[in-house]
A and B are shown apart, each in its own frame.
Chain A
Amino acid sequence: MRVMCAMSGGVDSSVAAAMLLEEGHDVTGVTLKLWGGASDSGCCSVSDVEDARRVAQQLGIAHHVFNFGEDFDRDVVDLYVSEHAASRTPNPCIECNRSIKFARLLERARALGFEALATGHHATVVTDSTGHLRVGRGADMQKDQSYVLHMLEQSQLVSTMFPVGSITKAEVRRRAGARGLRTAQKAESQEVCFIAGGSAGRRAFLGDRIGLTPSRVVDTAGNELGRVPARELVTLGQRRGLAVGGAGEPRYVVDIDAAGDTITVGRPEDLLADTTPLGTVTWSADPLVGGTPVLVQTSAHGHPASAVFRENAVSWDDARPRVAPGQSVVFYDSTNQFVLGGAPAA
């Protein structure tokens, strides 16, 4: 099969390309240029492109670079900024998969005559008992990335491949080493590829693009406990960095007044909720009907919990800490093997 392999310059996509080749596919490597900003440690720095190019040369396959920088700015970065401005908690990897890799790049791959697009994600494409394609868990549960791929639908899954999803990360590194690939020992990529420098970098990045709102931190009785420089950087459920240190039990953010300047902190039990309201759901195949029991995961490497799907919300079997608005709520089948769909927490 003629396969385009998205190569980030990391070890997973390097081995993905090698595996495709060994399976007899006609493979072309492509690296995306997404971000031209100051973050040279990001997912598309010159040295990462160079790593991808060198691996492609080692494998003897063609390698191209596509510049999707404008799309990335508009569909990923701008959204990341506006979500923070609205005191929501975005996941840019999910938006990049949704708008760039499995939309823009997949369309480009098809236009150029490729039958499939492969990436180095730790996930699988499985067929369920009704014959629908689903994003399945990766073989390495510690590295499983099905959560960030939950938005993939039949039309995308039919031409998507995740070669390394069938092996563990340790096996990926072993195979890279055995093949002498230069990326064999390369470190994992960071969280947000277009921002370098951790939380200080994030504050500077957002501060350059939106006004940051200094806010009061109050307890659930309304007593002011301290102040933070930027409401936009605070996430529901956050515990550290709130300038309300001292003895006593840990306090968590339980409410953010997105229109004003007040952040409320409280005890862990103040954060619990029986239901999580949902935004628009994306289903990989047929939608679930309200009242169906599901397993639900609310963070990239979290454990799924039992709940019931209710059209515009999920009802938890046991009360759970609230999900920060903007974070994805992803439904898995009852055997916890594959994704049924997902939605942002409202």
Chain B
Amino acid sequence: MTAYLDHGATTPLRPAVFAAMEPWLTEQFGNPSGSHAFARRAKQAVEESRDVMAEVLGCRPAEVIFTSGGTEADNLAVLGARGKGTVVCSAIEHDAVLAATRSVEHRIAAATRAGTIDLDSLAGVLDDSVTVVSIMLVNNEVGTVQPLADVADLLSSKAPNAVLHTDAVAAFPWLDVATAAGCASLVSVTAHKFGGPKGVGALVARDVTLAARQLGGGQERGVRSGTLNVAGIIGMATAARITADTRPATARRVARLRDRLADGLIESVPGCTETAKRIEQVPGNCHVRFDGIENEALLFLLDEAGICASAGSACASGAMEPSHVLTAMGLSNAEALSSIRFTLGHTTTEDEVDLALKALPDAVARLRKA
């Protein structure tokens, strides 16, 4: 038996999504940019998917831009909306936002020990030279929901020329993004975090003119050229529809499993500390550290026991790097390197949680003894 507790990395494809995609990977192979019957069918399916995405994201269909995933959506938002101005983001953004931000004139706002943006620090770096502010809706590592409405308020008073972008990639499985990100002009999501396929995402762009990052045939109203990933887009819309429809029930069910996992770990493993307050986290996130162990070694033992979890982020070689999020929150290097992330999702079962609860006390004890 295995326990897949790494939904933050990616989620299993929903069977209904696979079924919806299959015709578009086989007999319905048309390019939606064409004019014949095959093309028209593909075009219609893409536009119906765009309607679904608009509905679940709370925008008009014309405001949805299909991308290759979260990273491209983040880059297009941050760099496409910047013009010649300064970009501001938080120190706990995903690398897709951080790296794009750092590539241009920028300022980075600090984070709090609680794992949220420090609004005072943000206020301090805003002025009328700022054209994009990018603050994620939910942190992908520690699961904390960010005070996006407060950020939007700060923008209107301190950065009148800025648009607000939010990376909602980690939020979509758990929050009604249409409402929670309603104050943002730009919103990124990616399908594989909510039971859709990898390699497809979307950017909402409301009342923002974006400079294209990828030039060519002029698809997506000239903002994102390239033949559309028809099956992927249909898969994403199908997954988004199911996720939105089942979100409250899933959130309740998974929150109970997360509590079972977190409570069980604290009870059975001495020196186990939760990184963030559960009330501020999305239901699927259990982020803890075990005093005196190295997460790299613990992940090895968990992997052997059939338990998939993660820590920090893996670099190009596959090695674990100390998490910039935890460091920005003020954790020491040793604390960051003893931290581990379990992320639960729509397929997580009580048996999986119990397998982890069974394996962890022994694994941690073994590493501490060595």
Contact = CB atoms under 8 A, between A and B. Distances in A.
A112 B300 contact: yes
A70 B336 CA distance: 13
Contact of B317 (A46, A108, A112, A113): A46
Contact of B321 (A49, A67, A111): A67
A113 B301 CA distance: 9
Interface residues of B, number: 17
B319 A33 contact: yes
Given A67-B321, A110-B370, A33 B315 contact: yes
Interface of B: 294, 296-297, 300-301, 303, 315-321, 333, 366-367, 370
Contact of A46 (B294, B296, B316, B366): B316
Contacts of B294: 108
A53 interface: yes
Nearest to B316: A46
Interface in A39-54: 44-46, 49-50, 53
Given A107-B370, A111-B366, 4 more contacts: A64-B300, A67-B321, A70-B333, A113-B366
Interface string A101-112: 000000110111
A49 B318 contact: yes
Contacts of B333: 70
Contacts of A66: 296, 319
B297 A67 contact: no
Nearest to A108: B297
B319 A112 contact: no
B366 A65 contact: no
A260 interface: no
B297 A49 contact: no
B317 A111 contact: no
B297 A33 contact: no
A110 B366 CA distance: 10
9 contacts: A33-B315, A46-B317, A53-B318, A65-B317, A66-B296, A67-B315, A110-B370, A111-B367, A113-B366
Interface in A229-280: none
Contacts of B297: 108, 111-112
Contact of B315 (A36, A53, A112, A113): A36
Contacts of B300: 64, 112
B315 A111 contact: no
A30 to B, nearest CB: 9
A237 to B, nearest CB: 37
Given A66-B296, A108-B297, A49 B366 contact: no
Contacts of B366: 111, 113
B146 to A, nearest CB: 29
Contacts of A46: 316-317
